[in-house]
Structure 1
Amino acid sequence: MASLWHISVLLVLVLLGGSDANPVAPHRSQMDVNHKKPLQTFRPFNIAHRGSNGEIPEETTEAYVRAIEEGADFIETDILASKDGHLICFHDVTLDNTTDIAQRAEFAGRKRTYEVERANMTGWFVVDFTLSELKSLRVKQREDFRDQQYNWKYNIITFDEFILIALYADRVVGIYPEIKDPIFINQHVKWSGGKKFEDKFVETLLKYGYSGEYMSEDWLKQPLFIQCYAPTSLIYISNMTNSPKLFLIDETTVRTQDTNQSYSEITSNGYLKFISKYVIGIGPWKDTVVPPENKHLGPPTDLVARAHALNLQVHPYTFRNENKFLHFNFHQDPYAEYEYWFTEIGVDGLFTDFTGSLHKYQEWTTPYQMKPKNAEALLHQISNMLKDDGY
C-alpha cells in the first residue's frame, strides 16, 4: 500500500503539470523542515544511485520515492537539458537504451551522429527533443537481468520535479545531482543572455533554497552535494554557490571530458591539493580504489588515504547486489562488501543501486542512537512517574 507521503508527492507533481516552466517552490511551512527527522550524519551516507534503480527503472519519480522509503540519505540524479532548455533527470545523452524512442515512428527521422567526449556517437539525442516530446516517452529497466514488470509505466522527470520529491519527503532527504556532460550540452543547447548549462543548474538549486557550506544550518535543512566529471564546471560554479561539490573520477583508462587529463594526473597529490580548493570530496569508480584481480580483490590503492589527508571525502560508485558485480571475496553477499568498504577502506558514503540493503546493513551495524538530552528527559519523566506512584 502506498504511504500517504508517497501519494502527496505524486499529487504535487501532477498539480505542477509535468513542466518546470513556472514551478512553485514549497514554503517552509509546507516542508515543515523543523519538525522532520534530520539527516543522519554520524555514519557514511547511503546514496541512492539514480533512485532505487535495482528495483524500478532509473531516474523516475517511483524510483526516487522507493529509495526514500527504503532509507536513502541522498537521492542521486544526472542532469541533462532538452532542446528548449529545460533541465531533466536522465543518464545518457542518447535516448536509445532506456526509452521507447525506437518504437516511436514520428521520431524515426531524428537520429543523429554527434561527437561526445572525443568520440562519434549515433542515436536519438536528448538535446534534439523538447521537454514535451521527452515527457511523451516511456522508460524501461536498463538491465535485462533485473525486474522488468515496471517497463513503460513511467516517464522522464524534470530537475524541478526531482527536487520536490526530496523537499516533500516526510524526513530530511538530501539531493545529489550531477552536471552531466556539460561540454556537450553547452554545444547544443543555448539559453538567453549567454547563460550556460551550469548557470541554469545553479539557478534551479538556488530557486528552491539550496545553499550553505557543508554541515551548516542551511545545508542540514536542505542537504546537497553537487557532482561532476568535468573539473572546469566545478570550478565555474564555485563562484556561484558555496554548496559542497564532489569531483567524479572515472576508470583509469578514461580521460577527463573537458581538460583531457589522465587518471594518474587527476589523482596525483598535486592535483588533489589543487581541486580541494573547490570541492569537498571525490567520487571514484570503486575498482580504481581497490583494483580487482580475476574477480578477486587486489591490494587497495592509497587514494582514500591521500584524499582524507587533504580533508576530502570519498564516495565511491557503484555498489550493486547481483553476483556478477560482487567480487569472489564477498561470497555473493552484498553486506560483506559494505562491511569491507566501511571498515577496511574507510569511505564516507556509497552510491548504491539497492538502497534498502545498504540501509539494513547500517541499521544493523550503526543504528540511530537516542540523543543524550532525550535520554535524560526520559529518565526524568520515569523518575517523576515513580514518585507519583509512591516509590
Structure 2
Amino acid sequence: MSVLTAGSMSRLHTSRLAVTPAVVAHRGASGYRPEHTLDAYRTAIRMGADAIELDLVPTADGVLLARHENELSLTTDVAEHPGLAHLRTTKVVDGHAMTGWFSEDLTLAEVRTLAARERRPGLRPGNTVHDGREGVPTLDEVLTMVAAETVRRGRAVGLLLELKSSPYFDALDRSLDEPLLADLRRHGLDHARSRVTLMSFDTAILRRLAPRTKVPLVQLLDVGDPFDGPALDAIEEYADGIGVHQDLVLPRTADGALDLPTRLVRDAHRRWLDVYVWTLRAENHYLPTDFRVGEDPAGLGDLGGLAEAFLDAGVDGLITDHPDLAVRAVAAAA
C-alpha cells in the first residue's frame, strides 16, 4: 500500500496519483495528539498512514508554519504570553472576522516561544495531556522529520501540503508560492516522484503552481462547490486530483444517515482525476447516525464501517484524524 507515487497524472496522463486506497493522516494523528505537532505526525506514521496532511501559513518573516489557520489562539498558548499581547487584533480572513493573534504578525523567533495545545479539549480530553510538550513546527522541520522517518521505517511517507487562505496572503504581499517552492527544492522534493502533493481551495494558486512545479496538484472542494462535468473539465486542465468533502461522495439523508453515492468519483476518474475524501473522524459527533455507537458525542463509533463505505464508492484516499482505524479498514478490504 502506498500513496503519491509517480507523476502528474492529468497533466501527463501517464500514471495515477495514488495506488489505491491510501490513508492520509489529517494534521497528523489528530484524533490522538494535538494537531500539527511533530508527535502527531510521527504517531500517524507509526500507525501505518501512507501520508500525512499539513496546512501551511506564513510568519512575518516569510517562514511557513504547520497550522490549520493563521489565527493561533485555538491551537497554541499565545494568549498566555504578555509580551505578545500588543499583537492581538481583529482581521477578516476568507470573509470571516476573527480576533486573536495571527501568524503573519509574529516572527519565527516569536512563534518559537509558543506551545501547542489541543484544539478540541471538550471532545478529545485525552489529547490535552500532551498540551505544552511541543512548539509549532515549520515546514522545513516537518520535511526533515519525514525524511528521517522514511529512513528509520524503511518505507516512503507521503505529504499532502494544503496552502491556506492564499488570496488573503497574496493581498498582504506574503504569497505562499515562493517559500513553499524554496523549501521543496532545498529538500530535493520538487519532482514528480517526491511523494509530495500540493492542495488548495484556491484555484488561482494551483494554476500559478502548475507550470512551476512537477509535484501533483489537488483541487479541494467543499459542500456547495460545483462538481459537475464542466467543473471537473476545468480542474483537469491544471490539477491531478480532487480532495472533496465527504458529503460530495456519500451525502447524508435528512435524518443524518449515509445516503447513496453521487456520480462524483466515476466522473472524476473518467478525467484521470483521483479522489480524496475529508475528513473522517471517529467520534460520534462527526459520524452519520447509522455509524454511531452509543449516545456520547465524544465516544468512538464505527469509523471502520464508514471507511469501508467510501472504499466501496471507489475513492482513492481517505483523509482522517484516526489513521489507525482507517488502516485497519483498508487492510480488511484488501
Query: Normalized against structure 1, the TM-score is what?
Result: 0.74
On the 8 A contact 1:60/1:154 being kept in 2, the answer is yes
Farther off after superposition, 296-305 or 69-78: 296-305
- State which of 263, 268, 271 in structure 2 corresponds to 1:310: 271
> Is the counterpart of residue 271 in structure 1 residue 231 in structure 2?
yes
Q: How many residues align?
A: 302
- State which of 81, 88, 91 in structure 2 corresponds to 1:104: 81
**Aligned letter for 2:159?**
I
Which residue of structure 2 lines up, in the alignment, with residue 382 of structure 1? none
> Is the counterpart of residue 172 in structure 1 residue 174 in structure 2?
no
- Measure the CA separation in 2 of the matches of 1:41 and 1:315: 10
Which residue of structure 2 lines up, in the alignment, with residue 37 of structure 1? none
> Is the counterpart of residue 226 in structure 1 residue 198 in structure 2?
yes
Which residue of structure 2 lines up, in the alignment, with residue 235 of structure 1? 207
- State which of 253, 262, 267 in structure 2 corresponds to 1:301: 262
Which residue of structure 2 lines up, in the alignment, with residue 162 of structure 1? 142
CA change 1:275–1:41 in 2 (3 A) is closer
**C-alpha RMSD over aligned residues:** 1.6
On the 8 A contact 2:18/2:316 being kept in 1, the answer is no
Q: Which has the higher Rg, Structure 1 or Structure 2?
A: 1
CA change 1:361–1:289 in 2 (3 A) is closer
On the 8 A contact 1:71/1:356 being kept in 2, the answer is yes
Which residue of structure 1 lines up, in the alignment, with residue 38 of structure 2? 61
On the 8 A contact 1:127/1:189 being kept in 2, the answer is no
- Measure the CA separation in 2 of the matches of 1:189 and 1:65: 33
Q: Which runs of 5+ in 2 are unaligned?
A: 1-16, 293-300
- Per-residue displacement from partner, 1:322-345 (whole Å, max 9, x unpaired)? 1111112225311111111101x1
- Measure the CA separation in 1 of the matches of 2:19 and 2:201: 27
Which residue of structure 1 lines up, in the alignment, with residue 68 of structure 2? 91
Which residue of structure 1 lines up, in the alignment, with residue 318 of structure 2? 350
- Measure the CA separation in 2 of the matches of 1:299 and 1:172: 35
For 1:347, what is the secondary structure of its paired residue?
coil
- Measure the CA separation in 2 of the matches of 1:305 and 1:351: 19
On the 8 A contact 2:19/2:316 being kept in 1, the answer is no
**Aligned letter for 2:47?**
E
Larger helix fraction of residues: 1
Q: Which runs of 5+ in 1 are unaligned?
A: 1-39, 191-195, 214-218, 253-262, 367-391
Identity %: 30
Please report how far the alpha carbon of residue 278 of structure 1 lies from its aligned counterpart in structure 2 after TM superposition: 1.1
Please report how far the alpha carbon of residue 114 of structure 1 lies from its aligned counterpart in structure 2 after TM superposition: 1.9
- Per-residue displacement from partner, 1:20-40 (whole Å, max 9, x unpaired)? xxxxxxxxxxxxxxxxxxxx9
> Is the counterpart of residue 282 in structure 1 residue 232 in structure 2?
no
- Measure the CA separation in 1 of the matches of 2:92 and 2:228: 29
Farther off after superposition, 153-162 or 356-365: 356-365
**Aligned letter for 2:272?**
N
